[in-house]
Structure 1
Amino acid sequence: MSGPGLFARMRRGLTRNRARTHPAAEDPRLRGRTYAIPFDDVWTGALWLAQRRRGWTVTLADDQRGVLRAEAVTPVLRFVDDVEVRITLDPDGQTRVDMVSASRTGRGDLGVNPRRIARFLRALDRHLGAGPDRILDVTRRRREPA
């Protein structure tokens, strides 16, 4: 796996209590997804998964704005974290999924938030049957000449 090394991930886990996706994120797990799959299919799949994640309670599901919000309770210490999944159409009409996961307490999350995002996105890939031909690399698409 490319991306930040072990020391950088450990330092991040002790000093940050929030993780978010971005197409240019150094950590490949946090690059979000751009799917060549219709919005409705991705929305339905993401909602289905969020409703079934252990420890998650969906608090908002707005398909018009493409926003899912949930509270995620950590298994051992029972901390409540906030999760937001945004599903939108990008300028090319492809379905984009971005996430934020934030701890309500503490200065560091010990890597819980990046792992939560990575696991949700992998589960969504599997649920949608999205292989490499349906998950688009937006960094490559931006660099191609028009």
Structure 2
Amino acid sequence: MSMRRRRGGSPGYPDLQPKTYPMELNRLVDVSRTVADRMPGWSRVTGGFGAHEINATVTSALFRFQDDITIRVTLQGQGAMVWVRSASRIGRWDFGQNARTIRAFLTELDRALPQESAQQ
């Protein structure tokens, strides 16, 4: 489903909502790229739909499954909003791995930014 049509998150994971930060769009894109590059097991993929989208692949340590990650940063009021999507390439069930991947990225993004900057 397109992230443009969704509010974010899923019924099973209400905590996985897009996050708004009171900062300039390009700064948030730059910090998001830096964080994505540091994530264990992630390989950033070139391309994407515009300068404000980051695409990556994460490979699981145990079975070497690959999941696709999309991070979009959009304007939101006086700040910018981060949308994160993780999708498994294989199988119908991920046993919560995609949610853990999104949470890990958002946690690292919050650590990379000033404490007071994150809003829900």
- Confirm or deny a common fold (TM above 0.5): yes
* Alignment partner of 1:136 is 2:91: no
Partner amino acid, structure 2, of 1:121: L
| 8 A Cα contact 1:47 1:61, kept in partner | no
* Alignment partner of 1:53 is 2:39: yes
Aligned residues: 116
Q: Which has the larger radius of gyration?
A: 1
**Deviation digits for residues 35-77 of structure 1, max 9, x if unmatched?**
0021122111110111111111111356954100001101111
Greater share of helix residues, 1 or 2? Answer: 1
Larger RCO (CA under 8 A, 6+ residues apart): 1
Superposed CA RMSD in Å reads: 2.4
Change (3 A) 1:78 1:24: closer
SS in 2 for 1:31: coil
Structure 1 gap ranges (5+) = 1-19, 138-146
Partner amino acid, structure 1, of 2:73: I
Percentage of identical aligned residues:
30
Partner amino acid, structure 1, of 2:113: L
Structure 2 gap ranges (5+) = none
Change (3 A) 1:36 1:61: farther
SS in 1 for 2:28: helix
- 1:19-34 to structure 2, matched below 5 A, reads 22-23=7-8, 25-26=10-11, 27-34=13-20
Alignment-derived partner of residue 29 in structure 2? 43
From 108, 111, 114, the equivalent of 2:96 is 111
For normalisation by structure 2, the TM-score amounts to: 0.84
- Partners of 1:62 and 1:128 in 2: CA distance: 24
SS in 2 for 1:136: coil
**Deviation digits for residues 78-119 of structure 1, max 9, x if unmatched?**
0011000000102x1320000110000011001000111011
